[in-house]
Amino acid sequence: MGDNQHFSFQSVSGLTKEVVTESFREGGQQYDYALPTKVQYAELVLKRGLCVSKSDSANSDLESWQSWFSALAVNLKVERRNLLIQLMRPNGGKPYMTWNVRGAWPKKWVIADFNAEENQVVIETLELHYDEFNVV
């Protein structure tokens, strides 16, 4: 995945920040205090219909995700990348909102079950771990 590559996904989940707290009770008090200890992020999950096409752009798209994940799976060497996630308008133009995801790396890649007797879209799911995100 080189610079400025664009990929489309049907759904994105996991843009979640949570402040983790630790509770403690002070002597003589009847209630607990909660103090923030860290910020925790969920896994980023990207889903789309699997694209099997003879077009060079579709194949290079799939190959770039495969090579990023395969490099990690074979060598167990994390290659972190920064991603921009954009919520696009139906008619194109400027996105509604953009998130900057820092330090992402592929954790899981799933190709959904498929059956030749059913007429369904095969869904590809990519699960990424990341360090943090913010709204641009």
Over residues 96-107, mean pLDDT:
95
Q: What is the DSSP letter of 93?
A: S
Residue 129 domain-assigned (yes or no): yes
Residue 53 domain-assigned (yes or no): yes
CATH number, domain at 52? 2.30.110
Domain range holding 80?
11-135
Question: Could you give the C-alpha distances from 27 to 22, 23, 24, 76, 133, in angstroms and in order?
Answer: 16, 13, 10, 48, 39
Over residues 39-59, mean pLDDT:
78
Residue 58 domain-assigned (yes or no): yes
Task: Give the mean pLDDT of the chain.
Answer: 86
Residue 75 domain-assigned (yes or no): yes
Identify the residue with better confidence: 8 or 103.
103
Residue 120 domain-assigned (yes or no): yes
In sequence order, the 6+-apart residues with CB closer than 8 A to the CB of 46 are 9, 11, 12, 125, 126, 127, 128
* Nearest one of 122, 23, 128 to 82, comparing CA atoms: 128
Number of folded domains that form the chain: 1
Is the predicted pLDDT of residue 12 greater than 90, yes or no?
Answer: yes
pLDDT one-digit tens code per residue, 59-97: 566 677 788 888 888 888 899 999 999 999 988 889 999
User: What pLDDT is recorded for position 54?
Assistant: 56
User: What pLDDT is recorded for position 128?
Assistant: 95
User: Structure pTM?
Assistant: 0.79
Residue 2 domain-assigned (yes or no): no
Residue 3 domain-assigned (yes or no): no
For 34, the token pair is 């909660």
Over residues 100-123, mean pLDDT:
90
Over residues 12-39, mean pLDDT:
92
Report the helix count and the strand count for the chain, using DSSP H and E.
Answer: 1, 8
User: What pLDDT is recorded for position 92?
Assistant: 80
